[in-house]
Amino acid sequence: MTVIKGILFDKDGTLFDFATTWEAWAYAFLTRLTNQDTARATTIGAAIGFDYGAKNFAADSVVIAGTPKDVVLVLDQYFPEYSQQALIDLINEEAGSAPQIEVTPLVPFLTGLRAQGLHLGVATNDAEEPALAHLDSAGATHLFDFVAGFDSGFGGKPEPGQLIGFAEHVALDPAAIAMIGDSTHDLLAAKAAGMLGVGVLTGMAKADDLAPFADVVLPDISHLPDWIADWNAQRS
């Protein structure tokens, strides 16, 4: 294996705490679309793996690793008055204003990685527009060479299109890139692209869920610099 020269991050559950962002999004989204009808919001929430009363997700919720389009395929039957594109637009609108809690202060963390000469990117199953809004809110957009959502023309994970797009954009062999994510979708995409797969435990998945698909599982992204230094030292 070669030394690591590029890092591609998932966004939610990796750069940002998943529960804080998406539980707030789901509650606000369902409240809005049901006109505060608690019973209806509870029923529809259950369909996407969200407990409206408790304001939390089931581990197998389609929202955790799916794209907005995947979510809309479930929601479509409940909102015949909306087209699928209109529902995607509403998802993106609410997502853009959802609260963001950084897993670790992102600007100094990412600045440190760039100082090591690493190329950085984001590949998310969120849409590109709210993804950029979230990165902008952290003041971190300028630190990435590449940001792709599911609607950026590369497809979504677990397919490898976004990952290959990043490798081509920064002119790196995929084998020199580590994909960092909190779900098996991220790690399966990494394998399909020929990249290293690094799992983190700041999403909904447990270590036992990620380990079979990962080269390593770390508690969170703050552990990356030491792991990369050790990996590269053994191969240089």
Lookup: tokens for 194: 């020929």
Interhelix angle 18-33/84-96, rounded to 10 degrees, is: 130
Least confident of 80-94, 155-169, 211-225: 80-94
Q: Among 96, 125, 157, where does a domain finish? A: 96
d(CA 15, CA 8): 11
pLDDT tens digit sequence for 146-155: 999 999 999 9
Backbone angles phi, psi at 199, to 5 degrees: -90, 145
Categorize the per-residue pLDDT at 65 as very low, low, confident or very high, splitting at 50, 70 and 90. confident
> Residue 236 pLDDT > 80, yes or no?
no
Last residue of a domain, one of 43, 64, 96: 96
In which element (H, E) is residue 119 found? Answer: strand 119-123
- The verdict on 118 and 40 lying in the same domain is no
pLDDT tens profile 11-23: 999 999 988 888 9
| Residue 143 confidence (pLDDT) | 98
79 plus 157 within the same structural domain: no
Indicate the range of 16-30, 117-131, 198-212 predicted with least confidence. 16-30
Q: How far apart are CA 113 and CA 79, in angstroms?
A: 44
Q: What percent of the chain has pLDDT over 90?
A: 90
Measured in residues, the chain has a length of: 236
Contact by Cβ (8 Å): 144, 121:
yes
Q: Residue 156: which of 120, 173, 181, 137 has the closest Cα?
A: 181
Q: How many domains does the chain have?
A: 2
Q: Would you say residue 107 lies in a domain? A: yes
Per the structure block, which two tokens stand in for 213? 């698909």
φ/ψ (deg, to 5) at 134: -65, -45
Q: Which token pair is 86?
A: 């209109």
Contact yes or no for 205/59 (Cβ under 8 A): yes
- Residue 188 clears pLDDT 80, i.e. is over it: yes
| 163-176 pLDDT per residue, tens | 999 999 999 999 99
What is the residue range of 43's domain? 19-96
Tokens matching residue 177: 């890139």
Note whether 53 and 153 are same-domain residues: no
**What predicted TM-score, i.e. pTM, was given to this entire model?**
0.89
Q: Are residues 91 and 177 in the same domain?
A: no
Query: In angstroms, how far is the first alpha carbon of the chain from the final one?
Result: 10
pLDDT of residue 127: 92
> What is the reported pLDDT for 96?
83
* Same domain (yes/no): 146, 78: no
Q: What is the pLDDT of residue 1?
A: 61
221 and 114 co-located in one domain: yes
Amino acid at 226: D
Residue 78 in any domain: the answer is yes
AA letter at 155:
G
Domain termination residue (choose one: 65, 80, 96):
96
pLDDT value at 114 more than 70 = yes
Computed over every residue of the chain, the mean pLDDT equals 95
Question: Does 126 map to a domain?
Answer: yes
- The confidence band for 191, taking pLDDT boundaries of 50, 70 and 90, is very high
At 136, which CATH number?
3.40.50.1000
pLDDT confidence bin for 69, thresholds 50/70/90: very high
| CB count in 10 Å sphere of residue 152 | 19
- CA-based nearest residue to 160, from 181, 129, 144: 181
